[in-house]
Structures are given as C-alpha cells and as structure tokens.
Amino acid sequence: MKIAVLMGGTSSERNVSLASGIRVVLALRERGHQVTALDPARGVISASEERELSKTKVGAEAPSLESLSKVAEGAFLPNLTSMKELRSADVAFLALHGGQGEDGTIQALLDMAHVKYTGSGHLSSALAMDKDLSKKLFRVAEVKTADWLMAPATIEQVEGMLGLPVVVKPSKQGSTVGLSVVKKREDLAAAIAEASKYDDEVMIEGFVPGRELTVGVLGDIALPVGEIIPKHEIYDYECKYTPGMAVEEFPAKLSPEATTQVQQQALSAFRALKLSGYARIDFRLTTEGEFYCLEANTLPGMTETSLIPQGAAAMGISFPELCERIVRLALG
C-alpha cells in the first residue's frame, strides 16, 4: 500500500508527534509498504531528516510557544492540500498529536478531500479533545469521572465544589502540557494563567488520588490494562517521554474482576464519544476500588515509551503489526 504518515504539525506536542511518526514510518516499511513521511507545516520529510529524527528523543519539556510560532509560519493548510504524496496515498496514517492534528480539523479536511485516514472522524475527534464535553458524555454513558468546573471560577467556588487539591489544565490539550496540581488556594490564579497560554478554555478538576491505569482500544477490543508508576506525583510530560522516569506494567496487577470492569468502562467511553479505529482511555483507581475516567486519547503516542504499543505487545502484537492493523481498520 501507499501510505502517507502525517507527523509534526504546529501543536505543543510537535516533538512527540515527530517521535511517534518516525517509528510508524519505519514499522510500516518493515511490513513492505511504500511510506512517505509528511509534516503538514513543512512538507515532505527527506531521507536525511528521517535519519536524524530516528536518533532524536522527545525531550523532558514541551517545545516553547515561541519555537512553535516559528514552525507555524509555514502555511499548514495550503501545504496539506498541495501535497501530491497525500492525494495519491491509499491511506493517511495520522501520527499528529494535539492542536489541528487531533481536534477534528485535519480529519474534516481529509474527509472533504476523500482521503482515508487512521483513527476517529472529525466529530468524535473534536468531542474527545474537548475535555468538558467528553466528561459530560462519559457521565451519560455511566462512566465515572471526577467533578469539575470551567474557568473563570473563584477560589471559594473551587473549594466549595471540589476542595483542594485540584488539577488545572487546558480543556483541549494533551501530554499534560500546561497542567498544574494546585494544593494551595494562592496558587490557583497562576495555574489558570499557565493553562490559558495553551487554550481558550481551562478546566479545574477534582484531584483523584490513586493508581494510574490505561486501557488501549483497538477496533472493538480492549487491550490488556496497564499501570503507570511515575517518578513524579503525576504522569507529566517528562515522565511520559523520558526513559526511566516511569515504570509501566502490562498487564497491571489487578484482579480478573477489576480488569474486566475497567476494560468495559474503556469500551463504554470509546463508544460514548463515537470513536473508531483505536484510542487510549486513561483512569485512576482509588483505594476504595472506584475507577475514574480521566480522558480519551484519539491519536495516542506511538513513541518508544508510549502506552498503547506496550498494551498491544502484552497481547502478542508487535509494533509493526499494530501499525498495520490500525491502517487496515482505516480501510474498513
């Protein structure tokens, strides 16, 4: 097959996307496919650039907003629509994360261009990216999720409804970019200001202490449950993308009953947002044995430290096979 892998883009998760994308490119070539690497912000990625990317790590911090603005000087949409490599592909593998790559924008453009692509459609991508809307749909589907408020909110409102600590984060962002855990009332305003740099909406969510769990969904199958044990208090950007900063256990040490319960919750969340292809659903497990859904990731990371490849591996699915399965799901 002729496959175009879209990677990079202009979001704060650009570095993660490049790391995911180059792994996908190499894996699909290993399966015998004709693969072109494309950056919607820059165009075709050359063979020499591919070699450099294959040696580069994500890094402990997200790229600065200033550096992203320079990347964004490339015309994202005109570049995308003029790429003959994309128009002639049998399918586009979306290895983009965050921003226009994951919020339904690029999916809608590809729909209009009649280009098939991996992952969920434009509506479900937008729903999953918007944490406020997705949490409302989780509750309709009886998937438990923490209480929350949307900024602006006073410290009195936050303490009265949620208590402290709380998690403050951009409502439409990933990889914990712009996220803070607020334990003291005087830190709330600064946390909201930080999150506001990355999105026009900010969520204030009750902090759920407990074990960090994740469930990948591939087609209509829940993959083995994984547990993440980060070096930091939360599974932040550095812990996610720096080898050795988190321990990931697949399968997680759960009872068969608990495993089945959280897998069913993941499938319910997947269906509530009308997702398709594949996704990763994240949870917290409290000491009382309650599962709380944190969010759904429609284009989860595919880096060497990412979780859905580890979940697939625990099921006996190699990374190249996982990438090919995702492509075949896109083709129906």
CA 259 to CA 264: how far, in whole Å?
Answer: 9
Which pLDDT does position 90 carry in this prediction?
Answer: 97
Catalytic, 174? Answer no
- Catalytic residue of the set 8, 9, 13, 306: 13
Q: Is the Cβ–Cβ distance between 234 and 298 less than 8 Å?
A: no
The DSSP letter of residue 298 is: S
Catalytic, 227? Answer no
Question: Are residue 190 and residue 219 in the same domain, yes or no?
Answer: no
Catalytic, 69? Answer no
Question: Are residue 97 and residue 176 in the same domain, yes or no?
Answer: no
Q: Which domain holds residue 256?
A: 128-144+209-330
Return the H-helix or E-strand segment holding 148.
strand 148-150
Question: Are residue 137 and residue 264 in the same domain, yes or no?
Answer: yes
- Catalytic residue of the set 17, 124, 175, 306: 175
What CATH number does the domain containing 87 carry? 3.40.50.20
Question: Are residue 239 and residue 312 in the same domain, yes or no?
Answer: yes
Q: How many CB atoms lie within 10 A of CB 64?
A: 10
Which pLDDT does position 173 carry in this prediction?
Answer: 77
Question: Are residue 133 and residue 243 in the same domain, yes or no?
Answer: yes
Number of domains in the chain: 3
Which pLDDT does position 57 carry in this prediction?
Answer: 67
The DSSP letter of residue 127 is: H
- Catalytic residue of the set 117, 235, 237, 241: 241
Catalytic, 280? Answer yes
Which pLDDT does position 243 carry in this prediction?
Answer: 75
What CATH number does the domain containing 198 carry? 3.30.1490.20
Catalytic, 295? Answer yes
Question: Are residue 264 and residue 296 in the same domain, yes or no?
Answer: yes
Question: Are residue 135 and residue 265 in the same domain, yes or no?
Answer: yes
Tens of each residue's pLDDT in the chain, 332 residues: 999 999 998 887 888 899 999 999 999 999 999 999 999 888 899 999 999 888 876 655 655 656 556 555 554 555 666 778 888 999 999 999 888 889 999 999 999 889 999 999 999 999 999 999 999 999 999 999 999 999 999 999 999 999 999 999 999 876 577 899 999 999 999 999 999 998 899 999 999 999 999 999 999 999 999 999 987 776 766 776 677 788 899 999 999 999 999 999 999 999 999 999 999 999 999 999 999 999 999 999 998 888 999 999 999 999 999 999 999 999 98
Burial code of 231-242, b = ≥16 C-beta within 10 A, e = fewer? eeeebbbbbbbb
- Catalytic residue of the set 39, 199, 282, 324: 282
CA 177 to CA 12: how far, in whole Å?
Answer: 7
- Catalytic residue of the set 280, 284, 292, 306: 280
- Catalytic residue of the set 14, 301, 311, 324: 301
Distances (CA, A) of 113 to 96, 107, 140, 181, 274: 18, 10, 34, 42, 22
- Catalytic residue of the set 12, 297, 306, 324: 297
Catalytic, 278? Answer no
State both tokens at 248.
């990931």
Which pLDDT does position 11 carry in this prediction?
Answer: 82
Which pLDDT does position 71 carry in this prediction?
Answer: 55
Which pLDDT does position 77 carry in this prediction?
Answer: 57
- Catalytic residue of the set 14, 295, 306, 311: 295
Which pLDDT does position 244 carry in this prediction?
Answer: 79
State both tokens at 261.
């319960």
Question: Are residue 189 and residue 240 in the same domain, yes or no?
Answer: no
What CATH number does the domain containing 291 carry? 3.30.470.20
Question: Are residue 135 and residue 283 in the same domain, yes or no?
Answer: yes
Residue 142 one-letter amino acid: E
The DSSP letter of residue 210 is: S
Which pLDDT does position 78 carry in this prediction?
Answer: 58
Which pLDDT does position 226 carry in this prediction?
Answer: 97
Max CA distance (Å), the chain: 59
Burial (CB count within 10 angstroms: exposed 0-12, middle 13-18, buried 19+), residue 230: middle
Catalytic, 301? Answer yes
Question: Are residue 45 and residue 26 in the same domain, yes or no?
Answer: yes
The DSSP letter of residue 187 is: G
Catalytic, 282? Answer yes
Residue 179 one-letter amino acid: L
